[in-house]
């Protein structure tokens, strides 16, 4: 299982004004990511509103992305197959395998939560064994799942139990745990960093791949940050990370995750609104948002259409 290096974007679900998924927009979305040197697409996740989509919608989205990925082979496709019912996750995992997705990801159950690392590993093993030839990632995002199991403890349980476990999408701020996972079994697992605002800190620990929503609309910023780090220019790398933080702070100012789609509108890539219960900004708020974005002074660091 090859480790992924570079930026993996978490694509937004393109929704119409009538709240319908616009599947015909996915090919141009793929082209957009490819043009901005994004190496992967993590679909049906938090940014992709996977928990707000129907099974049928998620499967159709998977089929469109997988078709493009198989034909072009420039953007790897990782599909989040779900998290509360392992039976449903198995159905989605097998559907992903049938359509040629590059890898799947599993989310912790977030209603009935696992009591510890063993139970979490057993849940994931049920799904992973249904697609034995496919790389499987675990998606660690305790702020949304409420599952705070140490990922080091998870790897100790899961490593002998799940032969096709590829790694973890790590969306948390526990750098001690993250580094321990990086070093587990001589660095066997692919640890993908999931907090865009802390990417520089993860690079210091040895991360070479990341998954993020802001990689959709600001990939050039992060590639410039990575280049500065690789060249030993830490002053420039820190300045670029601060620019990332300033950009991300506007998400909090304007209501949260839906602000990501406002950024997409700003760069000319319309993806519609988020589904309820997520709050979207009004037209008046969007005008204020645009003024704040222009005040960031980073036009040349946004992704290009």
The one catalytic residue among 29, 30, 137, 139: 139
For residues 103 and 166, the answer to whether their CB atoms sit within 8 Å is yes
Could you report how far apart the first and last alpha carbons of the chain are, in Å?
Answer: 32
The one catalytic residue among 76, 169, 261, 269: 169
Compute the CA torsion angle 201, 206, 212, 215 (nearest 10 deg).
90
Closest alpha carbon to 30 in 18, 43, 19 = 43
Q: How far apart are CA 193 and CA 211, in angstroms?
A: 6
Q: How many CA atoms lie within 13 A of 79 on its CB side?
A: 29
CA–CA distance from 81 to each of 110, 151, 177, 275 (Å)?
Answer: 14, 19, 25, 19
DSSP 8-state secondary structure symbol assigned to residue 147: -
Q: How far apart are CA 127 and CA 81, in angstroms?
A: 9
The H or E element that residue 36 is part of is none
Q: Is 139 one of the catalytic residues?
A: yes
Residues that are catalytic: 139, 169
């Amino acid at each position: 299982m090859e480790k992924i290096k570079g930026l993996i974007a978490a694509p937004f679900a393109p929704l119409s004004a009538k709240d319908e998924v616009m599947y015909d927009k996915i090919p141009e979305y793929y082209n957009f990511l490819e043009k901005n040197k994004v190496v992967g697409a993590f679909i049906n996740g938090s940014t992709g509103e996977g928990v707000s989509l129907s099974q049928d919608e998620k499967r159709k989205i998977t089929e469109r992305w997988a078709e493009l990925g198989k034909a072009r082979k420039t953007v790897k496709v990782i599909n989040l197959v779900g998290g509360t019912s392992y039976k449903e996750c198995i159905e989605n995992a097998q559907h992903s395998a049938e359509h040629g997705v590059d890898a799947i990801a599993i989310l912790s159950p977030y209603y009935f939560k696992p009591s510890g690392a063993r139970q979490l590993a057993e849940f994931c093993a049920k799904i992973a064994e249904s697609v034995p030839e496919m790389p499987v990632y675990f998606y660690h995002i305790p702020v949304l799942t409420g599952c705070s199991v140490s990922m080091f403890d998870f790897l100790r349980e899961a490593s002998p139990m799940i032969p096709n476990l590829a790694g973890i999408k790590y969306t948390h701020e526990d750098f001690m745990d993250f580094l321990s996972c990086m070093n587990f079994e001589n660095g066997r697992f692919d640890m993908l960093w999931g907090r865009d605002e802390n990417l520089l800190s993860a690079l210091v620990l040895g991360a070479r791949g990341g998954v993020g929503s802001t990689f959709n609309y600001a990939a050039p910023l992060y590639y410039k940050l990575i280049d500065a780090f690789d060249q030993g220019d830490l002053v420039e790398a820190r300045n670029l990370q601060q620019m990332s933080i300033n950009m991300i702070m506007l998400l909090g100012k304007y209501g949260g995750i839906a602000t990501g789609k406002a950024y997409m509108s700003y760069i000319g890539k319309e993806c519609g609104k988020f589904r309820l219960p997520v709050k979207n900004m009004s037209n008046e708020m969007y005008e204020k948002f645009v003024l704040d974005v222009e005040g960031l002074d980073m036009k040349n660091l946004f992704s290009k259409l």
